[in-house]
């Protein structure tokens, strides 16, 4: 296996999935966002979005806060410091894969 | 994918501008300030200090009250209109280090070229010539600065319409400067000894510069309101029905 392919296998699998990558990217540019924002921006179905957010929560990358705005339930999601550094590491690793090595 | 991720990052940053309310509020505030400046009248040499203090006071008061009112109105509008349609986002806090970096970049990208241009014009013409032509070059220079800020801000926030706003701000600055050229500058002695600048011509120059500044601010405000209105109509069309999280 070449060096760059070994690097590929070292990518974070939790973040590498396209839908989760999009969610992490969306959350990385804000302090926190609610379910509706993520739903609209990701164009995922409600069920799909819930599953991916749960997966990110299980990995310790996303933190959930459930509150009420008036009588309406309101859930906010934010990246944990662990999730933020994992995303930065992922971007760095992915970028490094595309750097051409002179032979 | 990298392009999509970049756009996702920018969508989060630019979310506050998604409904056009901020542009409308900012444009309204600018229009108010421009109107105050335009309607403030003219001062004579003897009344200038009092007039200047009075106008400065009005502007500071209008700014404080306007910003406070804008924050309250925006808060209410977003809570009742935007968040139920496209969701709630809490923006990231800017750290002290980031503020320093922004300030450094602003100085490098905006002030240095401006100072270079000013120094060059001082060398080419006399200092009095630069002062005499202030009603012409000041609106153009301000238009350039605003355009640069809109381009940089638009790139950072991923808002393409800011490029159009930048172009319109620049054109407005140039138009106001050119308009002054067509009307003609107030009479100003180009060769006077240092420290003996006549007060009346200087006052006429300041007065004309302030009128041009007021015009620029007023037109920029109207441009921002129009841009905000178009953005709002598009946003409402794209998101007609409010969502409820439980539904």
Running along chain B, 247 residues long, what does each successive block of 10 average in pLDDT? 71 89 93 88 73 82 88 90 90 79 73 67 64 85 90 89 95 92 76 61 82 92 96 92 58
Residue B246 inside a domain? The answer is: no
Residue A101 inside a domain? The answer is: no
Interface size between A and B, measured as CB pairs under 8 A = 83
Residue A102 inside a domain? The answer is: no
Tokens describing residue B172: 């407005």
Residue A32 inside a domain? The answer is: yes
Contact B13 A29 (CB under 8 A): yes
Query: Which residues 6+ apart lie within 8 Å of B8 measured at CB?
Result: A22, A25, A26, A29, A41
Residue B155 inside a domain? The answer is: yes
Q: Is the ipTM of this complex over 0.85?
A: no
Residue B50 inside a domain? The answer is: yes
State how far the Cα of B90 lies from the Cα of A69, in Å rounded to an integer: 14
In this complex, the residue of A41, A72, A76 whose CB is nearest that of residue B11 is A41
User: What's the pLDDT at A102?
Assistant: 52
Residue B88 inside a domain? The answer is: yes
Residue B213 inside a domain? The answer is: yes
State how far the Cα of B89 lies from the Cα of B228, in Å rounded to an integer: 19
User: Which range marks the domain in which residue B156 is found?
Assistant: 2-238
Provide the CATH number for the domain around residue A78.
Answer: 1.10.10.10
- Total structural domains in chain B? 1
Mark which residues 54-83 of B lie under 8 Å from A by CB. Answer: 83
Residue B126 inside a domain? The answer is: yes
Tokens describing residue B54: 């009075």
State how far the Cα of B83 lies from the Cα of B74, in Å rounded to an integer: 12
CB B138 within 8 A of CB B209: yes
User: Which range marks the domain in which residue A51 is found?
Assistant: 3-96
- Which has the closest alpha carbon to B77: B244, B246, B236, B237? B236
Which positions in chain B touch A75 (Cβ < 8 Å)?
245
Q: How much is the pTM? A: 0.78
- Total structural domains in chain A? 1
Q: Is the pLDDT of residue A47 over 60?
A: yes
Residue B127 inside a domain? The answer is: yes
- Which has the closest alpha carbon to B239: B78, B77, B85? B85
Residue A37 inside a domain? The answer is: yes
């Amino acid at each position: 296996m070449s060096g760059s392919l070994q690097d590929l296998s070292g990518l974070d699998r939790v973040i590498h999935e396209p839908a989760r990558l999009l969610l992490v990217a969306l959350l990385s540019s804000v302090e926190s966002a609610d379910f509706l924002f993520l739903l609209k921006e990701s164009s995922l179905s409600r069920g799909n979005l819930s599953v991916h957010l749960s997966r990110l929560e299980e990995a310790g990358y996303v933190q959930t806060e459930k509150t009420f705005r008036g009588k309406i339930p309101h859930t906010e999601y934010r990246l944990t410091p662990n999730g933020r550094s994992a995303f930065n590491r992922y971007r760095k690793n992915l970028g490094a894969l595309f750097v051409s090595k002179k032979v | 994918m990298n392009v999509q991720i970049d756009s996702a990052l920018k969508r989060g940053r630019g979310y506050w501008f998604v409904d056009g309310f901020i542009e409308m509020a900012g444009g309204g505030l600018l229009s108010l300030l421009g109107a105050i400046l335009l309607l403030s009248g003219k001062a004579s040499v003897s009344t200038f200090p009092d007039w200047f203090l009075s106008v400065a006071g009005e502007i500071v008061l209008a700014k404080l009250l306007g910003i406070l009112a804008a924050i309250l109105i925006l808060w209410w509008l977003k809570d009742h209109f935007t968040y139920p349609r496209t969701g709630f986002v809490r923006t990231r806090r800017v750290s002290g280090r980031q503020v320093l970096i922004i300030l450094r970049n602003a100085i490098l990208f905006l002030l240095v070229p401006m100072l270079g241009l000013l120094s060059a014009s001082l060398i080419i013409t006399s200092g009095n010539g630069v002062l005499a032509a202030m009603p012409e070059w000041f609106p153009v220079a301000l238009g350039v600065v605003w355009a640069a800020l809109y381009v940089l801000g638009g790139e950072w926030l991923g808002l393409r319409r800011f490029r159009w706003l930048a172009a319109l701000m620049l054109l407005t600055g140039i138009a106001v400067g050119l308009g002054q050229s067509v009307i003609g500058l107030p009479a100003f002695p180009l060769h006077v000894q240092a420290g003996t600048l006549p007060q009346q011509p200087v006052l006429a120059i300041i007065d004309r510069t302030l009128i041009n500044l007021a015009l620029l601010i007023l037109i920029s405000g109207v441009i921002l309101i129009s841009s905000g209105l178009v953005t709002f109509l598009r946003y409402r069309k794209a998101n007609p029905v409010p969502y409820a999280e439980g539904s």
